[in-house]
Amino acid sequence: MLEQLLIFTRGGLILWTCKELGNALRGSPIDTLIRSCLLEERSGAASYNYDAPGASYTLKWTFHNELGLVFVAVYQRILHLLYVDDLLSMIKQEFSAIYDPKRTSYNDFDDIFQQLKKEAEARAEEMKKSKQLGKHVNNNLGRKQGQVQNGSVDGGSKKKSGGESGNDGGDGDKSRGRPLENGNLRNNHVGKGEVPAMVNANGKENEASKTGAFDLNKLQKFRSKAAKKTETVVNKVPKEEPNKKITKKNRVWDDSPKESKLDFTDPVSENGEQNISVVAADEGESMMDKEEIISSDSESEEEETRKDSNVDSKKKGWFSSMFQSIAGKANLQKSDLEPALKALKDGLMTKNVAEEIAEKLCESVAASLEGKRLASFTRITSTVQAAMEEALVRILTPRRSIDILRDVHAAKEQGKPYVVVFVGVNGVGKSTNLAKVAYWLLQHNVNVMMAACDTFRSGAVEQLRTHARRLQIPIFEKGYEKDPAIVAKEAIQEASRNGSDVVLVDTAGRMQDNEPLMRTLSKLIYVNSPDLVLFVGEALVGNDAVDQLSKFNQKLGDLSPSPDPRLIDGILLTKFDTIDDKVGAALSMVYISGAPVMFVGCGQSYTDLKKLNVKSIVKALLKLEVSRLMICRS
């Protein structure tokens, strides 16, 4: 049974709610839906789950883009109602017939709603009955071919009937997972081999064969993962032993004379005492404080010339589309938007945006434009591009304040040090950018302290020690092979003792799939509860950005012993100077995690730290799209 059905305008006024289903909703599901889904450009998704203390709802929605209306249905998650999508589209049609922008109360809609609801429920009942008949046929076929196959077929058909809700699919997978754990790998293989044979028998079985193939892949993944885990654990132990025993012999590549000295570090004693006084590094103003001058004129000229050159190519298509654009087309359909959106998606992907993200963005833009009436003298491509630009600006605009100095001052007033933890995979530039952030903070008269919690990588502690010496700030380190969580805890205590305002904690790089390392990381975060968890990601990453961030967030959430786990609060984008205009990684990371980009590292010296300039990124992402759009004319 539906809990609630709302119709409201995009401006926020509720036009109609169903009066019979008058149960007050727990929490505020509608506002949360708007804030975390529709405004986050995820309106292409099928549904949204909302959990409040005492209730868990699923919300489904549809838009009427021409009139600017939103229709939302709320129901309990445990009930898998099948008629909701149907009902929403019928209501949309009926309501848009009686909608008037001046009217604000629609009490006559109640009767129409009751009618539509009964119709939709009846239709859903019919569909359920016909599906059950189909299920019986499948079962009969299965019984002929033996037990294991039967199990997989039932799983397959279960998936089909509950096709709309992901939960049933999850159950199907679990039932298949159990025989895996018992070691009956061969049986499962045989079972899946037989299933495709039955495909020919029944057209509906096609889905079952697909799910069979999917699980085969999952099976292989499981095996390889298990093998990987044992490997990494084994490798860790012997690596740390020969650290100090073997001295490195110089490798001779050609006939050049042998170099005698490899080690260029200053002759400083082991515990960091300064024999030679080092001048504090002063390289001028950090780029964070410099304004960026955006030259917009030259870019627009380039676009114009490209436009003109491509107009001549297709005269016939141009004429008909010009005619359409002058007359103004009635109601954009999805098929009209498709070529323009596909061109945009390809364009985004050439700018190094992850494929999944580009897809979701295009779906969201399509959802917001479908059914809209084209104003006269506009082309479809320009409408789509304008909508995409707006969506991109909206995603990249930070949701919360990224003013770190203000947070530092606030923590200072409370008498606690402000703790920042740098996390990320291997080799993205955590230690380098940590030094850059320390330099920037120093320029604003903040007392910084570094904590060397990377106790794994050889040279990590020495690297930080060198930076600390150059910047003349204290560093807390305990050497190698210590528990990073405890080192961090002691560092924070030391900071509150010696009056440091900020503690920058460096951690070891780790792959997002590595379970034991992620566990140690979540322990570090849980024990020390830092003020800012900064994910360091490089701008060169492609589709892996999505995997890295989502897995990091997931592991931090799952493996944390507290009920309210800390997730990633901000992103630090590094190696930005190596990509010219393929800036898509920024978009992928912000979209998948919802965290704002707080810093951008654009070089390897202390001053190379900037803030993210939203407008220039959006411009870079959408440039060169004009030529592509010209070719795919509507």
Partner 1 sequence: MDKEKIGELKIQLQQLLNEAQEFVQRIPPLQLYAAIGVVVFTIFLLLVIRLFKRRSANTILLTGLSGSGKTVLFYQLRDGSFHQGTVTSMEPNEGTFILNSETSKKGKINPVHIVDVPGHSRLRPKLDEFLSQAAGIVFVVDAVEFLPNVRAASEYLYDILTKASVVKKKIPLLLLCNKVDKVTAHTKDFIRRQLEKEIDKLRASRTALSSADVTNEYTLGLPGEAFVFSQCHNKVTVAEASGLTSDISQLEQFIREYVKA
- Interacting residues toward partner 1 by CB under 8 A: 6, 8, 10-17, 30-31, 34-35, 38-40, 68, 70, 104-105, 288-292, 393-395, 397-401, 403, 405-406, 409-410, 444, 610-615
Look up residue 493 and give its two tokens. Answer: 């205590």
- Give least dist CB 368 to partner 1, A: 10
- Give least dist CB 400 to partner 1, A: 7
Cα–Cα distance, 616 to 623 (Å, whole number): 10
Q: Which is nearer to partner 1, 30 or 517 (CB)?
A: 30
Half-sphere exposure of 317 (CA within 13 A, CB side): 12
Q: Which is nearer to partner 1, 104 or 498 (CB)?
A: 104
Q: Which is nearer to partner 1, 485 or 592 (CB)?
A: 592
- Give least dist CB 339 to partner 1, A: 27
- Give least dist CB 621 to partner 1, A: 16
Q: Which is nearer to partner 1, 334 or 409 (CB)?
A: 409
Exposure class string for 512-549: b at 16+ Cβ within 10 A, else e: bbbeebbebbbbbbbbbebbbbbbbbbbebebebbebb
| E strand intervals along 302-373 | none
Half-sphere exposure of 147 (CA within 13 A, CB side): 2
**Residue 505 neighbours by CB distance under 10 Å:** 28
Torsion of CA 606, 612, 615, 621, to 10 degrees: 90
Q: Which is nearer to partner 1, 10 or 306 (CB)?
A: 10
- Taking a C-beta distance cutoff of 8 angstroms, is the pair 60, 5 a contact? no
Torsion of CA 261, 265, 268, 274, to 10 degrees: 150
- Give least dist CB 22 to partner 1, A: 12
- Give least dist CB 149 to partner 1, A: 51
Cα–Cα distance, 226 to 202 (Å, whole number): 37
Q: Which is nearer to partner 1, 12 or 563 (CB)?
A: 12
- Give least dist CB 81 to partner 1, A: 22
Q: What letter would DSSP give residue 632? A: S
Q: Which helix (H) or strand (E) holds 422?
A: strand 418-423
- The set of residues, in sequence order, having a beta carbon less than 8 Å from that of 275 and lying 6+ positions away, is 266, 267, 268, 269
Q: Which is nearer to partner 1, 236 or 444 (CB)?
A: 444
Look up residue 480 and give its two tokens. Answer: 């190698």
- Taking a C-beta distance cutoff of 8 angstroms, is the pair 512, 519 a contact? no
Q: Which is nearer to partner 1, 364 or 512 (CB)?
A: 364
- Give least dist CB 34 to partner 1, A: 4
- The label of the residue with tokens 């809990």 reads 3
- Give least dist CB 499 to partner 1, A: 19
Q: Which is nearer to partner 1, 205 or 608 (CB)?
A: 608
